[in-house]
Each structure stands twice: as structure tokens, then as C-alpha cells.
Structure 1
Amino acid sequence: ANMEFYLSQVTRAQEEERKRVAREIHDESIQSLATLALGIDAIARGKEKLSEDVLRRLKGLRAETDSILDGLRCFSHKLRPGVIDQVGLVAALEILTEELNKENSVKTSLEVAGSERRLTPETELALFRIAQEALHNVKKHSRATEAKIRLKFIRSKVKLTASDNGRGFELPDTLSDFATEGKLGLIGIQERTRLLGGKLLVRSWAGRGTTVVVEVADIQGMKG
């Protein structure tokens, strides 16, 4: 019981810290770089006659600034996907899968079934983190070429499934054994599922991929 309490407190503290860092990146670093980019543009378009060499260097600096801005925005989104608060889980998952596809590492798709609706903020964030961690595991460990996220809305519950066609692995006797085997990502998924009062199922076959299924109650759906 003490370990479960500790894990839940750590998980909540991680989210608060991620939120704080993401806000600082947006309010300070990103805003400062955006101002710098505008300054470079102003110099390039100014009345002073600049040589072609200087203009070329300014263009290079602007491109480098844009690249850093894109990287920071991507990092900030991974820390705290603000789009969840604004337009919901599905839109955030669409962005997540699009980002993976841009990296050209694993072909990733998203399927949404049932009557799409907003969930509680805690549920949406936890399900996003579960999908994020599952796809990170696919990219880092599975040697898969394809991955799929499926979000199914049912009247009183929501089911999130993450599957891949990777090399798979041998499942331990209990999910708690993932920690001793170094599969900390799955421990994180297990803990987030537990905090939601949900059910977790992990299936894996050697050479045939892995499937992670999380099912949680939808309190708002029950009321509808």
C-alpha cells in the first residue's frame, strides 16, 4: 500500500513538474526566440544596404532560429500537450501519431471508434501519456515497422489499444516483474491505469508484436 501511494504521488508530481517546465519553455524560451527571429527579419529588410554575404548569413541565422523554435515547440508539446486542454484527447493523439510519421521511424496510425466525446481532464491526460509511452516503447525497443493506436468510446467506458508488429517479448508472471526486467515504460502505463481505476492487459508474442489494452470507466459517459 505504501509503495502504491508513493508511485501515485510520484506520477502526480511528474505531471505538475512537466506542466511547469512546459509553461516556462513557452513563456520564456519560445517567446524570446520568436522575438529574435523578428529582429533578424527587421535587419534584413532594413533601409541599410547590406552585402549579399551578410544577407546570406542572416538568412542562415533565421533558418537556424526557426529550427530551434520547432524543436522547442515539439519538446514542450511532449512535456505537456496543451491541445488536450483546448480540443481534447483525439486531437492530441492525432498530433502524436503525425510526429512519429514525420520521423520516418515507425509507420503509425490512429483509429477512433464509437461516439467521440470529451472525458475528464485527468482521464484524457492519463490516456495520452499511456499512448505516448506505448509508442515510445515501440520506437525504442520493438524493431517494429508499423504501430497502431485505437481509441474506442463505449457508453460507460473507454478503451485504448496500442499494437505493433515488432519482435515481441516473453511476458513475466506478473506485471510487477516488468520493473526487475527494466521495462519501466510498462510500469508507468500500469501505474497510470491503476490511478484511473482501470484494467490493463498486455499481450506479446515472439516475432509477432505486442498489444497493450487499457480500459477505463467514463464517469461522464455514465451520466449521459
Structure 2
Amino acid sequence: MSNKDLNKAIENLFNTTLEVMESGKEEIKSMVIDLKDDYARKVMELSDIQQKLLLTIEEVDTLAIEEKRSRKRLAEVSNDFKRFNEADIKDAYEYTHSLRSRLEIKRQEERLYIKRRQELELGLKKMLHNIDKGEKTIDKLAKIAEYIEGNKKDFNETIEDINKMQMFGIKVIEAQEEERKRISRDIHDGPAQDLANVMLRAEYCEKVIDKDMEDAKSEIRELKKDVKVTLNNIRKIIYDLRPMSLDDLGLIPTIEKYIEGFKADSDLNIQLQYSEGIEGLNSGIETAIYRVVQEALNNIKKHANAKNVSIDFSLMENAKKNIFIKIEDDGVGFSETHYKEKAESKSCGFGIIGMKERIEVLEGKFSLDSRENMGTVIKISIPVIEEGRLN
């Protein structure tokens, strides 16, 4: 896509975004208006409920006084058979009962009014919150639209960087998912299986310890071996996540330790050289360098069919201090066409492209020179940032 087409596409994108935002703003305005209308109706209903509640409270108070008098009258009539006959008692009882019924009805009305008043007050409070939230959202959308409208050129100029960051983000996510899968697989195939075996051996020991002590002791010895193996496997998984020696020993000793272990699992002859002063780097830089060396060696082991590898660390003093890394092998190498195909392939993983992007994030430079049957050379330079100064 040409720059002209790209700018036009961006212009259309901005216009569409602004239209969507304007449409959303109008919808929110309509919702706020409806909320305000509903709020006004609820306020009127609350006022009506409040008036009815006050009248009902007065009626309840009046009925309560009257009911108390009627009960007193009923007691008086019921205890004076000389002055009052059966008809008088019946009338007094029925009147008292009628008052009680009316009082209970009014009290029920009072409770219902109070409940409704509470519901309305709570609803009105929520409506005010939503109205305020809606109006603030409208203001924010207006400001965002104004900002977008006034900064289209800036967006056009940075679109390429955004695309790069997006692709890098995808690569990072893919790498994270692959790492999670690897960790899950390592735990499932390693410590999880080992611990299941430990459980079975422990249960067996429980069964035979009272019957055959020697067998139980033998089983416990084997159990200790299993636990030791499991512990070593867990330590290896932890080390692969982030070598603690980076914090304890520093970059070069950690890489030396990794190379020794790597040589034990491969036929590669790996030579490490470094100059003095490569220490005290920012932890983020140290981790990136360690991962790049790790990835480079794994690529060489899997694909290069090499016999010898040299890794060289040095410091360069230019306008500012840089650490320079050179990783060279004598393997089969590959053509530039093959490299481009791998770079454009979605299946290339985090390998070479990932190494390059790791370095570029640190404002460093990454180059790769390879020819068929002539090996591969990776050159890296990174600005030196002391620990605690990387933003």
C-alpha cells in the first residue's frame, strides 16, 4: 500500500471513528434526557408518597389513641355487669375490634409507603449517579473527538511505529503462550508425574512398614531418590524461568554456567570471551542478553549442524557506552531468501525476529550475516544503562 493510500485509509478510519463517537455521544445524550425525565417523574412520585405517608402517620396516631380508649372502655364495660348489659359489651367489643383492624391496615399502609419511599430515594440516587456519569462521558467523548480531529497528522506519522509495536506485541503474546505451554508440559511430564510416584511409594510404605521393615526401608531409600530427582527438576524449571544467578552472580557468570550445561547436552564446542567491566547492567538488559544468547545457541543446536561456536562480549566507547556481542558458528548457514521467508512466516516463532525485537526495544542494534555452508554471525550492540536507570 502506497503512502497516499495509507493516509487515505487513515483519514477514513479517523472519520469513521469520529462518526461512531458522535453517534455514541448522541445516544448517551438521549439516554441522559430519558433519565432526567424519569428522574423528574420519580421526584413527583416521591413527593406524593411523602404526603400520603404523613397523612397515614397522622391517621395511625389518631387510630392508636382511639383504639387505646376503646380497649379501656371495653375493660370497663366487661367488668361492670350492674351498669352494662350484654348488648353494651358486644358493642364495645365490636368497636374495639373494628378499630384494631383499621389500625393494622393503616400501619401496613405506612410500612408500604416507607418501603416505597426508600426504593424511590435509592433509585433517585442511582439515577443522579448515572446522569452525572453520562454527562461526564459526553464531555470526555467531545474532548477525545476534538483531540483526534486536531492530531490526524501526528497519527499518520506514527502509524508505522504502531504497526511495528502491534506485531511485536503479537510476537510477545505468542512467545508467552508457548512459554506457558512449555512450563505446563514440563511440570506435567516432570514434577507432577514424579510426585504421583512419590505418593504411590509413600502409600506402599504405610502398608508394609509393620509387616516388613527391611522392605519399607528399601522403599524409603528409593523414595528419597525420587524426591531428590523431583527437586532437581523443579529447580531446573525455576532456573529456566529466570536464572537466580543473574541477580546473585551477574551476567557473565550466569552465561558461563548456562554454556557448561548446554555443552553437556550437545556436541558443540563453545568458546566464550569477554572484556572487563561488563557488570552492573540494568536487570532488564541482562535478562534480554541472556535470553538472546540462549535463543541463539538453541537455534544453532537445532538448525546449524555446527561444531564450533564463539561468543564474544566487549565494551565500546563511542558517543555513549555500548556493549557489543558477537555470536558466530561454523554451521550450514542459510540464504537471505530463506531468512526473509522465515521472517515473514507466521510459524517462525520468537527465534531470530524475537531476538531482533528484544534488542530494538532496548534501543540497540541487531544484525545477522549468513551464507549457505559458511556459517552465521549475529552482531548486537546495546547502549549501557546502569542498574536502576532503565525507564
TM-score (norm 1): 0.74
Match of 1:127 in 2: 289
Matched residues in 1 for 2:332 and 2:346: separation?
17
Matched residues in 2 for 1:207 and 1:6: separation?
35
Matches within 5 A, 1:1-224: 1-9=161-169, 51-155=213-317, 156-172=321-337, 178-180=343-345, 183-184=348-349, 185-220=351-386
Structure with the higher helix share, 1 or 2: 2
Change (3 A) 1:149 1:65: farther
Change (3 A) 1:182 1:58: same
Is residue 251–residue 279 contact of structure 2 (8 Å, CA) maintained in 1?
Answer: no
* Alignment coverage as a number of residue pairs: 207
Matched residues in 1 for 2:347 and 2:330: separation?
21
What root-mean-square deviation, in Å, do the aligned CA atoms of Structure 1 and Structure 2 show? 3.7
Query: Which secondary structure does the structure 2 equivalent of 1:118 belong to?
Result: coil
Cα-to-partner distance string for 1:83-122 (whole Å, 9 max, x where unaligned):
2123321122112101101213323232112423211111
Cα-to-partner distance string for 1:59-78 (whole Å, 9 max, x where unaligned):
33322332232222222212
Question: Structure 1, unaligned stretches of length 5 or more?
Answer: none
Matched residues in 1 for 2:251 and 2:179: separation?
18
Is residue 158–residue 215 contact of structure 1 (8 Å, CA) maintained in 2?
Answer: yes
Matched residues in 1 for 2:333 and 2:216: separation?
54
Query: Which secondary structure does the structure 2 equivalent of 1:215 belong to?
Result: strand
Query: Which secondary structure does the structure 1 equivalent of 2:281 belong to?
Result: coil
Question: Structure 2, unaligned stretches of length 5 or more?
Answer: 1-160
Structure with the higher strand share, 1 or 2: 1
Indicate the structure (1 or 2) with the bigger Cα radius of gyration: 2
Is residue 108–residue 148 contact of structure 1 (8 Å, CA) maintained in 2?
Answer: yes
Work out which structure has the larger RCO, using CA pairs closer than 8 Å and 6 or more positions apart in sequence.
1
Q: Percent identity?
A: 24
